Amino acid sequence: MTATTSLTDGLDALGLQLPETPRANGSYVTWHRDGDTLATSGQLSREGDGVIKGPIQAGDDLSEARRAAQVCLLRALAVARSALGDVEQVRGVISMRGYVACAADFEQHSVVLDAASELILALFGEAGQHIRTAVGVSSLPSGGLVEIEVVFRVAPQIDGQ
C-alpha cells in the first residue's frame, strides 16, 4: 500500500487475493492486538483444503517454496482483515518470523522467505520495511512447507474498537 494505492488495489495489481479467514486448529487464537500492533499466529502454507507440503531439499527448485511463503503472508493478511474488520486498517509490517520445513543440509531459508518480504514491500512500500527471522525446521503442522507469523502496525483503535 503505497501513498497512492490501497492495500486492496495493490493486491489486485499483483493478481492476488486474500483467502478466507484462517481458523485456529488448536487451543490458541489467530491474532492478538495491543494498541497499534496486531500479531498473528503462525500461518501455514495452506491453499483451500490443501497444504503446500514440505520438506524442501538442498538443490530443489525454490519456486514452490517461495510461492508457499507468499501464501502464508496472504493468510496473515486475511487474519488481520478479520481482526480489524477492514484490511485497509493495516498500516505496515514490523516483523516477520518464518519457518521452512527442510532437510538438514538446506541453506536457502532466507531466499524462500524473501518472497514474502518482497510481497510486503510491494504492498506497503517503506511502511513494509521489517525485521525478520528465518528458521529451518524438520517438520511443520500438517506437513506444511512454510509457516509465517507477522506483527503488523495498524490504525489506532477508536472508542475501544
Asked whether residue 1 is assigned to any structural domain, the reply reads: no
Interval 33-50: pLDDT, tens: 999 999 999 999 999 899
Q: Which domain holds residue 125?
A: 7-22+30-154
> For the chain, how many structural domains are there in total?
1
Could you list the beta-strand ranges (E) of 14-155.
31-34, 37-40, 43-44, 46-47, 50-51, 90-101, 131-137, 146-154
CATH of the domain at 66: 3.30.1330.40
- 150 belongs to a structural domain: yes
Tell whether pTM > 0.85: yes
pLDDT in tens, 113-154: 999 999 999 999 999 999 999 999 999 999 999 999 999 999
Residue 12: inside a domain: yes
129 in any annotated domain: yes
Does some domain include residue 160?
Answer: no
